[in-house]
Amino acid sequence: MSRAVAPGQMLPTLTGLRGFAALMVLFYHIRSGMTCFLADEAISVLAQGYLAVDLFFVLSGFVLWWTYGGEFRDRGVRAAPHFIVRRFARIFPLHIAILSAMALFAAALIVSGRDPGDHYSFAELPAHYLLVQNWGFGDRLAWNDPAWSISTEWAAYLLLAGIGGWLTRLPRGAWSFPLLVVAMAASLGWWFGSTGRASIGDDIPATGLLRCLVEFGIGILLCQWWTAQRERPHGTAIIHATALGLAGVAALLLVVAGSQPAAVPLIMTAVVILALQASTARQPLLSGRIAQWLGDISYAVYLSHFFLWILFKLFFVDDPAMVDPVRILAFILLTLAASHLLHVVLEVPARRIAQRAGDRLLAAPHAIFTAGRSET
């Protein structure tokens, strides 16, 4: 038995899934310190945690169309300013705070006579503040490494703002979506293969933007298709069959064609479809308090854990390749606590301030125009 959901309504399983995806990325970045107590097989599993970013891209495309698709349908390009203000307020305050903390850390190293290294290039810092560092302006990851994906999502937001009205006219037939998604994933896989890249995580500065745009676009298409199918007879059966079919095609692409970059978007799309169905159950999966809390603080976890790991190793670890389980647990708890504080004290209040400032800025031209007309 499923419950009805309306566009814009919270889908709890997606929130919980986002929290666990952020933890996957965290474990990916700290795995090298766990080799002293984890088997090689476990380390290999953790090494796949970077694929959670692909899940984030599909989720992001879905959630943003779920939230703002109606505005783009009703107002077209006129919905763009409001959308951009909301997205800027969502991602920039915390990003700027974390990046500024890292800049102070690098400056402190210089003042103390130590070389921070090429990873902290002050010449590249402006691009990172503007979140354009992964738009083809660099050839390596620097500063806060996980922010590369936020940079590509910012590009996706700007693109969506420009073409959102046109996207409302895309077909939503039962089979048009899976065919289009398979074509998009296969094209991405072909491009990776033709450029000699075997993994979807290869050469992120050169490939990350296209990777994001394709998977973000899949998320938008998924939202339109899933919403339409739920309103049709036998829609649930079609939805489940599609998830199974996409997983099957992904397996063929991975095993037969050997194209991991083509398979990953299809796997993540199938995961999101199953999560959507779980969200509409009478008792949604991952709707418990802890899972929802993890989802709420997931952005803070994602942006802060990389820098926190650097600091933790500096102050509490002698050998970065030999971190004992107690210290690993301490770091995880520290990251969760710090992320909760960042979410409550900085992220949410700053988002509200930025939204109000943006709304006033958008309202100013209208007020001037209205005042001018009243005077005439």
Q: Residue 10's pLDDT band (boundaries 50, 70, 90)?
A: confident
| Angle of helix 325-341 versus helix 12-30 axis, rounded to 10 | 130
Please, which pLDDT band fits residue 9 given cuts at 50, 70 and 90? confident
Q: Tell me, yes or no, whether 371 lies in a domain.
A: no
Q: Are 120 and 100 in contact (CB under 8 A)?
A: no
Residue 2 pairs in a beta bridge with 281
| 365 band by pLDDT with thresholds 50, 70 and 90 | low
> Which residues, other chains included, contact 374 with Cβ-Cβ below 8 Å and sequence gap of 6+?
none
- Kindly tell me if the per-residue pLDDT of 299 is higher than 50: yes
Whether the pLDDT of residue 361 is over 50: the answer is yes
Residue 360 is assigned to a structural domain of this protein: no
Is residue 49 assigned to a domain? yes
Location of structure tokens 């990777």: 211
Mean pLDDT across 276-289: 90
Does a structural domain hold residue 210? Answer: yes
CB of 12 closer than 8 Å to CB of 292: yes
- pLDDT tens digits, one per residue of 101-110: 999 999 999 9
In this structure, what token pair is assigned to residue 133? 């560092």
Look at residue 282 in the predicted model and tell me its pLDDT. Answer: 85
Other residues' Cβ atoms within 10 Å of the Cβ of residue 158? 13
How many angstroms separate the CA atoms of 191 and 207, rounded?
A: 10
Indicate whether 187 pLDDT > 60. yes
Whether the predicted pLDDT of 174 surpasses 70? no
Task: Output the six-digit token pair for 288.
Answer: 């418990």
Instruction: Estimate the crossing angle of helix 12-30 against helix 298-316, to 10 degrees.
Output: 20
pLDDT one-digit tens code per residue, 23-77: 999 999 999 999 988 999 999 999 999 999 999 999 999 999 999 999 998 888 8
User: How far is Cα 316 from Cα 43, in angstroms, rounded to an integer?
Assistant: 22
Mean pLDDT score of the chain, rounded to an integer? 91
SS3 state at 2: strand
pLDDT value at 369 more than 50: no
Q: How far, in Å, CA of 106 to CA of 142, rounded?
A: 12
Question: Which of the residue ranges 83-87, 208-212, 356-360, 371-375 would you say has the lowest mean pLDDT?
Answer: 371-375
Per-residue confidence (pLDDT) for residue 263, from 0 to 100: 97
Q: Are 155 and 62 in contact (CB under 8 A)?
A: no
The neighbouring-strand residues paired with 281 are 2
- Asked whether the beta carbons of 42 and 127 are under 8 A apart, the reply is no
Q: Which residue segment(s) compose the domain that 88 sits in?
A: 12-354
Q: Residue 156 domain-assigned?
A: yes
Residue 349 covered by a domain: yes
- How far apart CA 261 and CA 191 sit, in angstroms, is 9
Is 317 strand, coil or helix? coil
Summarised one tens digit per residue, pLDDT across range 226-256 is 998 888 888 889 999 999 999 999 999 999 9
Q: Between residues 139 and 306, which one has the greater pLDDT?
A: 306
CA distance 248 to 148: 30
For residue 172, pLDDT over 80 is answered with no
Name the nearest CA neighbour of 188 among 271, 272, 263. Answer: 263
pTM of the complete model = 0.93
CA distances 217 to 153, 309, 344, Å, are 11, 32, 31
CA distances from 54 to 17, 45, 86, 212, 335 (A): 13, 16, 23, 7, 22
Q: Which pLDDT score is estimated for 376?
A: 52
Is 150 part of a structural domain of the chain? Answer: yes
CB 211 within 8 A of CB 57: yes
Is pLDDT at 93 greater than 80 in this prediction?
A: yes
In a domain, 2, yes or no: no
Give dist(CA 342, CA 335) in Å, integer: 10
What does the angle CA 169 – CA 171 – CA 172 come to, to the nearest 5 degrees? Answer: 115
Query: Do residues 105 and 143 lie in contact, with contact meaning Cβ atoms separated by under 8 Å?
Result: no
Across 190-219, average pLDDT: 95
pLDDT for 119-168, tens place per residue? Answer: 999 999 999 999 999 998 888 999 999 999 999 999 999 999 998 888 87
How many separate domains does the chain show? 1
